[in-house]
Amino acid sequence: MFDFGNLVLNENMKIYRRARVWIMWGLMVLAVAAVSGIAYSSSANPPSMWQMVAIEMIVMMPLVSIFAVIVAADIVAGEFTAGTIKLLLIRPWSRSKILLSKYAATLLFGFFSMALLYAALLLVNIIFFGYEKGIKAAEVFGAADPAMSAWSYFNQSFFMQFISLIVTVTLAFMISSVFRSGALAIGLSLFVVLMGKTLGQLFGLIDRKWVDYVLFQHLDLTRYIGMGSSGANGGMTLGFSLAVLAGYYVIFMALSWFVFTRRDVAA
């Protein structure tokens, strides 16, 4: 058939023609610059570049998740709330393809946000503190493996967090598709993102086998980085975590598609 790319182009237009995305991204870059700038000017002995990168990564990563989740939660539900879904669906495209274009645009937004944070962290801190070579991950990120470089940890960390982001965003996308209310979708998804870690720890207290399969236990993949030769972390491996995430991913996708392609569009 004709060009699917046009659908993604449309979804992108609807994301990036709104001020909110630029405000979110602007805030993100500004926050990185501000934190580094304050650390640079106010401290008697300024921190090293990688120290700042490590701190800011921990602070800013949830912000990226929050932004991506807001976009994901709004992309389907927002059209229902505004009523534009009716005009969108009565085109010579199946509902699956329209949903897929929305999902692709959502992932792209997550990717761009990550890339922007990645670039901002490196650039801002190199400008303020200069690039430091030969720093070990053990010094700044607290990795167990003494041989791993900070640069390598940084890259792996972004990769792992991108995987978690995909799962989180897919969850928000599913909520968006199932509940069809922008406010509810954003609220629920943010709750999951913000409470995820705490809930994970809470579940960790329960001594039952099923706890190992709870989503929140596996959203932080960075703990598997730089473990050296120890191999396992709290009895779990990266492979196991990825398998559990994949399982949830399939469920989220199936539910999104099932509901969106089958339900009547009323109201």
Partner 1 sequence: METSAIVQFRNVTKKIGGKTIIDGLTLDLPRGEVFGFLGPNGSGKTTTIRMMVGLMRMTEGEIRIGGASIATDYEKAIRHVGAIVEKPEMYKYLTGYQNLLHFARMIPGVGRNRIDEVIRLAGLDKRIHDKVKTYSLGMRQRLGVAQALLHKPSLLILDEPTNGLDPAGIRELRDYLRKLAEEEGITVFVSSHLLSEMELMCDQVAIIQAGKLIDIRSLRSGDGSQEAVPVPVQFELDRPDEALAVIRRSIRPAGDDGGREIRASVREGLLVIDALREDIAELNALLVKEGIRVYGIRSKAKSLEDQFLEVTGGESVV
The residue (of 30 and 82) whose beta carbon lies closer to partner 1 is 82
The residue (of 93 and 213) whose beta carbon lies closer to partner 1 is 93
The burial class, CB within 10 Å (0-12 / 13-18 / 19+), for 255 is middle
Single out the residue of 34, 38, 59, 83 in contact with partner 1 (rule: CB under 8 A).
83
The burial class, CB within 10 Å (0-12 / 13-18 / 19+), for 209 is exposed
Structural tokens at position 161: 């967090």
**Residue 204: CA atoms inside 13 Å, Cβ hemisphere, count?**
12
> Are the C-beta atoms of 175 and 233 separated by less than 8 Å?
no
Site string for partner 1, 40-79 (x = CB under 8 A): ----------------------------------------
Which range binds partner 1 by CB under 8 A, 87-95, 111-119, 176-184, 210-218? Answer: 87-95
**86: contact with partner 1 by CB under 8 A:** yes
Structural tokens at position 236: 């779990």
* Angle, vertex CA 52, rays to CA 51 and CA 55, nearest 5: 90
Which range binds partner 1 by CB under 8 A, 92-100, 169-177, 218-226, 252-260? Answer: 92-100
Least distance in angstroms from the C-beta of 101 to partner 1 = 10
Single out the residue of 92, 130, 231, 235 in contact with partner 1 (rule: CB under 8 A).
92
Cα separation, 241 vs 213, whole angstroms: 9
> Are the C-beta atoms of 104 and 76 separated by less than 8 Å?
no
The residue (of 91 and 197) whose beta carbon lies closer to partner 1 is 91
Site string for partner 1, 6-25 (x = CB under 8 A): xx-xx--xx--xx-------
The residue (of 5 and 228) whose beta carbon lies closer to partner 1 is 5
Single out the residue of 58, 84, 202, 228 in contact with partner 1 (rule: CB under 8 A).
84
Tokens 């539900």 sit at which residue? Answer: 77
Q: Which of 133, 153, 127, 139 is nearest to 119 (CA)?
A: 127
Cα separation, 33 vs 35, whole angstroms: 6
> Are the C-beta atoms of 218 and 191 separated by less than 8 Å?
no
The residue (of 209 and 262) whose beta carbon lies closer to partner 1 is 262
Residues 198-227 that bind partner 1 (CB under 8 A): none
Least distance in angstroms from the C-beta of 187 to partner 1 = 21
- Note the residues at the interface with partner 1 (CB under 8 A): 1-3, 6-7, 9-10, 13-14, 17-18, 82-84, 86-87, 89-94, 264-266
